[in-house]
Structure 1
Amino acid sequence: MKAVKDAAGKNTVKVILENCLLTKEEIKKSCELALEAGLDFVKTSTGFSTSGATPEDVALMKSVVGDKALVKAAGGVRTYDDAIKMIEAGASRLGTSGGVAIVQGKEHTNGY
């Protein structure tokens, strides 16, 4: 991660975890390593594995990175309520293909 951050210079760098495949301890350690490398974001998932972001995982990631990095919740954010839960848990960005539906108060039905 450090080599990527060094190569990126002043550009924003995020690491994408696949939280659904990791233990809580592995999520915590990954976030710690991201901080050590100076990354700007930690992201919950690619959105293409067995499940996406959960408020619990977002809160865990935020508890590790604090104000030193930002958390992006991605995968499974389909409704306005989902979006609010992720933001309340500590996400500063959301990755969703259903942005229009969320803003309209509808459920985005593609994906998980």
Structure 2
Amino acid sequence: MSETVIRENDGTYAMINVFDVEPEKQQELAEVLSEGAEKFIRHRPGCISVNILTSLDGKRLVYYAQWVSKADIKATMGDPDVQVYRDRAAALAKPDPHAYTVFAVHHPEN
């Protein structure tokens, strides 16, 4: 995997999946998703990076993956090994996945 960089108009795609999770299940969900990313997703063609963010209140988890193409995302989601982790995650929390492109990036002035 490469480093996560967010830029406008770079041609990449982001798959962002926001999970609503019970606080007592957030850690387990993060571990399941991290395991799936380590074992399978990061090795898939077109994968740039996978990032897993956990909310401080324990009620949400954001899965942010960058991809070279929408076709790479679709092919990965069709992989039976990946589907096992998708299903395990869905048993722990309510997922809401969508593909995105970057509209704008703003940085403070130096």
Same fold (TM over 0.5): no
RCO greater where, 1 or 2, for CA within 8 Å and sep 6 or more?
2
What TM-score do the two structures reach when normalised by structure 1? 0.28
Q: Of Structure 1 and Structure 2, which has the larger fraction of its residues in strand? A: 2
What TM-score do the two structures reach when normalised by structure 2? 0.28
Q: Of Structure 1 and Structure 2, which has the larger fraction of its residues in helix? A: 1
